[in-house]
Structure 1
Amino acid sequence: MTRVLALAAVFALAVPARPVEVIPIYGVSFLGGQYFFASDKSKLNANIKANVAPALKFEDSNWTLIPMYNGNFRGTKSVSDPVGSSTLFQQGMDHRISARGIYQRQDSNWKLKPTVAFKREFLRETRDETWGQGLFDFWTTSLGVEAENEYQAPFSYRFGYDIFFTKFPNFQSLESQSGVDPSGQPLGRERAGVDVLDTLNQQVSASITRPFPFDNPKVSVSAAYRLLYADYRDQPIIDVSGQPSTLGRQDFRQTLGLSIGMPKSYRGGRLRAGYGFNFNIAHNGSNQNTFDAGQSRFMSDTYSYLNFSVGPNANFSWGPKNETTSVSVGFTYSRTSYSGRLAQNTAGAFLADGQTDNRFLLALGYAYPIAPNFKLTARTNVLRQTSNQKFEQSYRYTFTTANYLLGFAYDY
């Protein structure tokens, strides 16, 4: 944390001391909701989100500085969270501070954007657990830089590089005491060590947005590629005998995304609509293995997988710009296939096929203006997952979950 603040201070001092124009950007939302699983439902809980990002534009300078704070409290579980024991209750909270500089010469389309950030995330799995003592609490420190060419506003292409370190400060001490995961099951040998979840990560990225036709845009197309290298510096590779080796775990994750957007207007522009379609494919290649001592079964590449997702979305809005009523709907289908992780039957015996999970997600949203920039919002999500993994002693793999959130949001 101290290093990040020091870097941010140095970064700020590097910006020329000139008269400053401050452009405030902030937002806050307060929502209440419930989470549903099987025939059970959670108690009513709050979700709170706050963002503050005053843009500092320096007069007669090529620099803009954007300090930012993002805070988020999640009292209602997301439908995409894993389903295990005591699944109805889970609370999370995260805080992120960052500083981004934007450098652009007046005679150039290029922008250079260095960024420094620090994030702290907390997770409570039970009601009597103290904030800051969660097994999977973590913090992340990151540095990054992005080069963007806005060749035809708002369309651009970008190249980026990021390096970040993620630390789980409580995992070592709590694991050594209990040796079990949050569901009460014994941890695999690959996670029964010291600082085994900590990672040093490097990521390169490239993206582009382009209008079609170029001179009279009707449709926008976006494409993005990311390559992430994660070095689990203290997680040993498990060998065929089930013992930790001297080699460490390394993951390479590649992601390719494509999205299409088509804005439309009806009734003389009074009704505005946006139609979209998204496709993403991701591959994680990991050299980590798993050994099941109960069945004396060695499985290689158990953390390698291929995932793809696809789905349409649409939104409709009407009214003045700062008093807009909007409705949104989206559907996403995703499929994850594991390279070396074998499916099991209800008794726990391993099958010949690799584990495959299918997800169907429906998301609905509504916003109604109460005052300028102040809205009543409602959201609901329904997720259905199916899997050929039938052994569900620790986690559920075939299930349906849902949640709703209702409250207020203010953006300026």
Structure 2
Amino acid sequence: MGIDKHLVMAVSAEALGLAIKRLRERPDRKITQQELGDAAGYATGAAVSISRIEAGRSRPKAERLERIADGLGVTVEELVEVASEVEETVFMSHDSASTDTSGESLSFKERLLRVQQVVSERAETATAAAERFNRAVDRAREGFFDPFCATGGEIEGAEVVEPPASADNLDDSDAATEALYRLQHSSSVVAGALRGGVAGAALGSASAYGAFTAAAAFGTASTGTAIGSLSGVAATNATMAFLGGGSLAAGGAGMAGGTMLLMGIVATPIAALAAGGAFYMVRRNRKKQAELEVTLEEAESEIAESQPGFDAMIDLMGQAADILDDIAVHGSRAYQRWATSLPPRPTQWPAMSEPQQDRYLDLIQVAGAQLLISTASMRFTLLMSARGDDLEALVRACEEQLGESRRVVDARI
């Protein structure tokens, strides 16, 4: 039986974090943050991840929470019960936006510093995750996608990879069906470009790769309706700017504007609060004080509400980078073995052996999976503004697309 998400979400991140800390520090079975992080399956930065959770700055996903509870020697239900007791005894008498994890009231200055610290930590975490993702994009593009497409573009009369029939009846609520559709569509985009003989000349830059990604994301159904519009052109363009086709070194936008995009959810309140200690300059102006108090509360609220989306974004970016790294290494090797086996190019499809043809179709699927990862990542920053059921649906859609990509990569290379 799965974890009751409603039961878990009934307690605040702060109460859940303090409950984890209390259980971890029990005298009879005390363990370190590193040990708990290892038990929870955090590959890197295990102690830091647990520290953020215990401070109430991060809420673990259901699967991770189950592993944390197991590492503590309790069930999730028992962990939530402790968190509920913490909520009642520590936080109930204080406004959650005005207390720290010990239940002590915080001054305006302390609350402001806490908000600024959270935003700073988010910026650092997001920048590191995005830089890793962009490096993985570059490696997969340079090691596999570009050379494969350059070679594939010199094969005349290659077998057609048919696009999916239509998106007219695509049910957006069925994340698995959507992921499979997008994979088929992405693969047909690659195959179509190669059959057109333009791929070899078109590739070689991050912007060219971005064109492939755009073609995969913004294909049209038979009616001409865009099937990859996500949340409108403006939101999509902003996300594409964040991705940038890779790092600055590869000609992409890298993190230019990316941090502001990620932090934009709290940018306005923070700007109002960070104007050189404005609160203290106007401390005798009660009206201004009241306005700044409201602004601080808005910033605290936005941070709390966007935290689940932020955590999901960082987790998904890591998953995407892992798959891209595998494509860069194993996909590159698979391409090189295939390319060295081919007759001199340009060559005709009938001149290739059946195993060579089959391998070509395998690598088309891997290239399609790589584009599917890119189209999934175009949604990542939208997680920051999604709430409730919308957030859950968006996470599920991204996870299904990454899962479909992983399945193809593992099976084909």
TM-score (norm 1): 0.24
Q: Which has the higher helix share?
A: 2
Q: Which has the higher strand share?
A: 1
TM-score (norm 2): 0.24
